[in-house]
Structure 1
Amino acid sequence: MQIVSTIADARKIRASLNGTLGFVPTMGFLHEGHLSLVRRAREECDAVAVSIFVNPTQFSPNEDLNRYPRALERDLSLLKEAGVSFVFTPDAGEIYPPGFATSIDVGDVAKPLEGAVRPGHFSGVATVVTKLFNIIQPTKAFFGQKDAQQCAVIRRLVTDLNIPVDVVICDIVRNEKGLALSSRNSYLTDSEQERALLLHESLGKAQERIASGERNAETIKTLIAAILSKDPDFSVDYISVADPYSLTELDSVDDEALISLAVKVGNTRLLDNILVRKK
């Protein structure tokens, strides 16, 4: 496994590779969710590249950029064991050199939900992903469904800018109790991890209610809110029932729907979601 930190070296390695290249962009502090993307990429492509870059432009001034967990040596060991071909580990100055001034706005899909709570976040995501796609030039790029709005943003980005990358969205990976894996789970105490299971429980109950015939989106949101209210210390940012591609809120679940939520558990903000279809 080769490890490079400059754009020039990453491009040299890419030019030397034959066949298809799968790409998994990450911010590091890897867990089984990331590794599941790597395994999927290995199954579908001849070689696999991973980036590790904590992207400053997707953090607002009051967010946890400096606190974001990092474990580069452990990450590299895991990626080597997973059979990754090369890892790109740039610093911020390599990606955003002096005078850098360009940003990408993907429009309406970035405005609700996380976009409303974290202004500028998806512009930072879209800009860095575009740069990484241009540098790595993958055949396929693999993303996790846990960050559902990010997936919608990247699909929109690739379509609108005619980027020749096949975006592959992979299922959420959960621990044995159902908590969606996230690097930020490392912030949670043992008690908070147990309490956070209410997020997945609430989504599961919503899915059951839809399977039983419920169609009204507000009724589904009310059900989820009632379950989350069992923990008075939770702070709910949003509960959404939306079209999975446009993120437009739905009045009725008549076809596919993305049910998503963001909840602050202690000092840690967690996301979770499920995709449902009318039975």
Structure 2
Amino acid sequence: MYPSGISQNTEEQKGTFVEVKGYGNQMEGRSRPTFFRGVATVVTKLFNVIEPTRAYFGQKDIQQALLLRRMTRDLLLSHPVPQNLIIVPTTRDPVTSLALSSRNAYLTAHERESVAPALYAALQAARVAWEENASKSECIRRAETVIEKKKREVNGSVDLRLDYIEMNDPDSFEVVSDAVSRRQWEGDVAGRPLVLSGAMWVNKTRLIDNIILGAAHTLGIVE
């Protein structure tokens, strides 16, 4: 994609780049402010070279997948058309439910089996609270409690740090109000989807995960 190489410093870069403006500064974009500019650019180049009928992206990187679908729509791409950018559910470890990722290779066996799964457990705690019609702030509090409990368990043997757990509108990526509950969010649209996501550091490895609250299939996520 870049046969002559490219500087990682965006201020030094020259040439044409693609930016999905206004949609990449929430969720992962808060921690990685220029990441989606690079993703959008290299994927546009890849689509132009390959002209795929369909493209598949993983739910684990849900913001990336939804941004790329928006990009194909905004730029009127024909290969693939937006509805053929398909989001595939996250594959998980059958025992721990840890989202499978190349980053997991940087974890020790103990970290993979006993520490890293705390992120998904935290998201599940928030999901249960949401289904009980708790406020968003209460859902996040319950999720953070799971991480705090795990931190006490490891007792400093692992540097466990929560980056964020948040709920975002899947269309605008705007943060949902702290006071909103499931019934308020769904309103007259039963199953209206919402993205519950989080990121966590396990020593030097940063892990991400997410759960779709509501009707995931309306976001084009297929089994």
TM-score normalized by the length of structure 1: 0.63
| 8 Å CA contact 1:234, 1:264 repeated in 2 | yes
Structure 1 runs (4+) deviating above 6 angstroms are none
Match of 1:190 among 93, 103, 109: 109
For 2:3, what is the secondary structure of its paired residue? helix
Identity %: 36
1:221 equivalent to 2:140? Answer yes
| Distance in 1 of aligned mates of 2:14 and 2:54 | 27
User: What is the aligned-residue RMSD (CA, Å)?
Assistant: 1.9
Match of 1:207 among 91, 103, 127: 127
CA-to-aligned-CA distance 1:55-109 (integer Å, 9 cap, x gap): xxxxxxxxxxxxxxxxxxxxxxxxxxxxxxxxxxx6x41686xx95111110121
| 8 Å CA contact 2:91, 2:100 repeated in 1 | yes
Residue 269 of structure 1 aligns to which amino acid in structure 2? R
Structure 2: which 5+ residue stretches go unaligned? 7-12, 152-158, 186-191, 216-223
| Distance in 2 of aligned mates of 1:169 and 1:192 | 28
2:89 is matched with which residue?
171
- CA drift of 1:225 comes to 0.9
| Distance in 1 of aligned mates of 2:174 and 2:214 | 16
Residue 103 of structure 1 aligns to which amino acid in structure 2? F
- CA drift of 1:123 comes to 0.3
Match of 2:170 among 244, 254, 257: 244
2:213 is matched with which residue?
276
| Distance in 1 of aligned mates of 2:106 and 2:213 | 30
CA-to-aligned-CA distance 1:132-156 (integer Å, 9 cap, x gap): 0000000111000000110121012
Structure 1: which 5+ residue stretches go unaligned? 1-89
The aligned length equals 186
